[in-house]
Structure 1
């Protein structure tokens, strides 16, 4: 692109030189931004945070907020089991809160297994939020291992409304089928995605391995091109419908090559045909 300035009296300046640019095709940059945005919002912070396993402190805090507490527990030596239900409702001049929390927990010495189901609806000066988190965790030697999911709608003041479902786990596995014929068509294991079969209308791929473990069978119905492709100018393009292969330099003016099933053409930096191999016309 290039630009020039025009002042309020109508005087127009000269054009600037051409400036080359392209949209960001690095998926990691987008994923980092999406992840950071999620983690800094209320639903992401709650999903990834540890579950409070201090039952007594939870009860005391609930009673201080005039909450209703249902607590069933049993203990034998260092073994303790708890089921806790806390219902909190707050209605004031400028804010309201309704929250239901269920916690199931068992502890032996320094090992704790816990599940938490928490539903929270709020409206205040900062906006309105509705967040539901379901979490499971195990604490071993003060190290907490956490998995869970969240469903949330955030309508915070001055921000776009966000509707979001989030998952937090080392392994995310989708199962299909029934009986003894169940299988997983989709899974995410330690950050790597595995897909059995996919139909994709449009895809941007930074790096791909075809027929080499990453993609066993690839059906490409139209075109494969580099992210900087511009017809006759730069980048690479393979048109699967016409059988045409076009190879350009990484910037305009470096020459190019166009190959079809009947000939191979070479162009210089001035876009002049300098060599043709195969059928002349």
Structure 2
């Protein structure tokens, strides 16, 4: 008897497994319509999900709205602070504009040694034998260029002067040219200003020689050297370079400063020729021993 019930249970279990597998296979196969139990189950599950999803959506939207409101408040507060700063900046700009206009009116009525008119030019020729002395540019008399006008590099440093002009081209003499008559009136900037003249070029050290500095002048390295504007031709304030060394002259009456040029004399492609706007003085009174000082 117990053996019979045991076999019966085993047969029931096998039949149940077969029915379950058949149901699974039946549910997985592609059908156009579901059975009534499947439809009932899906409808019931969908209705329950819909009941719970709506409150959940309302809660989620509520917290998202609260977060957006908080972000909007923070952004609004930041924008207000920026608007306050903008109003202050506008007031400052108006005040500075007014002051700038007033200063321009004053400056327009006062001549300055710094005032000049630039003319851009391109280097079109260099003689290999005189590479560090002469170059040719593509602007000339037709562009208003004249001899002795200052010439600066693309980065604004003085490189020389106009030596001669033709109708459409000009010859530029560099500061590194070995010409004893090529003198530039220069100033060493600092707490105390000292004046001298650029006379000559040390080829080995690639330094300009700033001579005729008073013997008691206290010059330090890295002081800026600019044109003084007192030579009558060049405008004031054109940068030349920096002092790297200072030595007394052979008689001990003056000093010579060695200046590292701010421009690269070897590689020059574009330049600016500057025309000083202030009237030129009578150079005949400034020539000493037929040597011109600019």
| TM-score, normalised with respect to structure 1 | 0.18
Q: Which of the two has greater helix per residue?
A: 2
Q: Which of the two has greater strand per residue?
A: 1
**Higher alpha-carbon Rg:** 2
Larger relative contact order, structure 1 or 2 (CA cutoff 8 Å, min sep 6): 2
